[in-house]
Structure 1
């Protein structure tokens, strides 16, 4: 069941919020320990930190963080390096979470000399739904009707969480006309 401000599942109300300013969210009064910041908007330490000002204890950004002052953690790759003195973390991207564990295992067992990765990825909110203006002409094409070769930061992100790989990996992305899904 859905109400104006909650989803009710098996008799339990799950609060839903539509607030543009994270500092205005009631995290303190709700006793929130962890916020998963998945908007794609609040991806720097300062911006994600707005959830801390609202009372959350920790924030995990579900994208590569901007600014370089947020630790990036991928489970199974570098989670043993988690610095609990910090309270804003990045969990990298979906592509990095898929690629980094494979890279680590293959490199540790067979020693990667050089590698190339292609991710086939659903279109994203950064792409136009109809042909239109965009700073990247490829992403200007209608996302729901075109296969669009583009860049990805996955190789750089893997290096963040598994430095042993250095510059041995290159990566490209191909955005395809599906709403969800990704493969490497």
Structure 2
């Protein structure tokens, strides 16, 4: 190792306890170019600062020390602004207000990954706290099984945290945080106030209800103030964080976080639409199989989805292309889409075949999207890969909504074909958490929502 590397390593190691205390004791989230500084990984911080070599780590340490000594907290601190200021003050913080309890209705693939993200060691989610999970009781050992499924995951590995099942009190304890497990088969059965939960944000992960009327049942229950759907929704705003989250208003009590594919492609399409304009296009997503398919040939309401998922490529439909226009209205009617489910358990790729309004080149498009991936505005939404040997499993655990495979970009005049990898489970879950953070960090003034940027 070089002396420079060892010096940087030493500086980064000195930041870990500061970040830990700021997050744990002061609910202060620290960000650089829109990316959260996690206190649980020296390697993660080294990789982050390696992308921004101009950052003075000694100055970073001083900023964090000042924030700790001044007791700043319950908010988000942007390092770029803090490093530019001579003194650290409350004015640099994105205030979060009171802590909002979060309820996860459903605890399947997305529900468990949301819980992992919200409760991750080293990750601060100021403004909200996971308070409860609502599920149907599956067995006498249900609570222990829920804890095990959260801790051990065949795709995402063993959770780096402490998970315990408190059977007597019917709760999970994740990294010291008690999370009430409420057993119910219908939303109308639950009284959240009786469980000590008021003013909560509920995230429906079941996909059982996708329209406004169906999801309104949650709002009718005591203790729930807002609902987020983790699927495309009808009669509600479909929000792709980083693209149209500024459309959220105070009166929006029910919102959709759209789909994993819509989140993967919309940020990139928004950049291209702004730069070149898009005449038309087709989106083909090659998607990992999911739990709504059969593992062995059997009856299914979707004929092809009834065929064995782990040994077939299965043609199916996707509404992701049409859903893009809900976030980018100028693309209404311009995109078609279809999907092929393939025998991989996670990570998908979207192929964007676009007719642009202006001619361009591979180099120009790649440079544009690389710059976007490094911007504070879209760093969480657009990733950039130039790895010559990249394959799908490399993107398991990716926190970006979508990652451009730059070596596969094709351009002929105004016709462009782009390939976008996405972890359809974890990357999407990170987008949902970003939306949740924004909702819990918004302040209502005179019927309007004053938005504050989240990660």
1:54 aligns to 2:217 (yes or no) = no
1:102 aligns to 2:272 (yes or no) = no
Within a 5 Å distance, the mapping from 1:49-88 to structure 2 comes to 49-55=216-222, 56-66=224-234, 69-88=235-254
RMSD of aligned residue pairs (Cα, Å)? 1.7
TM-score, normalisation: structure 1? 0.89
Q: Is the 8 A contact 2:282 2:321 kept in 1?
A: no
Alpha-carbon distance between aligned partners in 1 of 2:191 and 2:183, rounded to the nearest angstrom: 12
Alpha-carbon distance between aligned partners in 2 of 1:10 and 1:91, rounded to the nearest angstrom: 27
Q: Secondary structure at the match of 1:99?
A: helix
Aligned with residue 2 of structure 1, among 165, 168, 172: 165
Could you report, residue by residue, the CA deviation over 1:54-84 in whole angstroms, capped at 9, with x for unpaired residues?
Answer: 2310001111113xx2121111221111132
Aligned residue for 2:326? 160
Q: CA deviation at 1:32?
A: 4.5
Larger radius of gyration: 2
Could you report, residue by residue, the CA deviation over 1:147-175 in whole angstroms, capped at 9, with x for unpaired residues?
Answer: 11211001111012211012222211111
Alpha-carbon distance between aligned partners in 2 of 1:8 and 1:182, rounded to the nearest angstrom: 32
Aligned with residue 19 of structure 1, among 177, 184, 193: 184
Give the helix-richer structure, 1 or 2.
2
Q: Is the 8 A contact 1:149 1:175 kept in 2?
A: yes
Aligned residue for 1:148? 314
Q: Secondary structure at the match of 1:106?
A: helix
Aligned residue for 1:33? 200
- Structure 1 residue ranges, 4+ long, deviating more than 6 angstroms after superposition: none
Q: Secondary structure at the match of 1:17?
A: strand
Aligned length: 182
Alpha-carbon distance between aligned partners in 2 of 1:18 and 1:118, rounded to the nearest angstrom: 39
TM-score, normalisation: structure 2? 0.38
Q: Is the 8 A contact 2:293 2:309 kept in 1?
A: yes
In terms of mean alpha carbon deviation, does 129-138 or 43-52 score higher? 129-138
* Structure 2: stretches of 5+ with no match in the other structure: 1-163, 351-455
Q: CA deviation at 1:41?
A: 0.5
Q: Is the 8 A contact 1:64 1:72 kept in 2?
A: yes
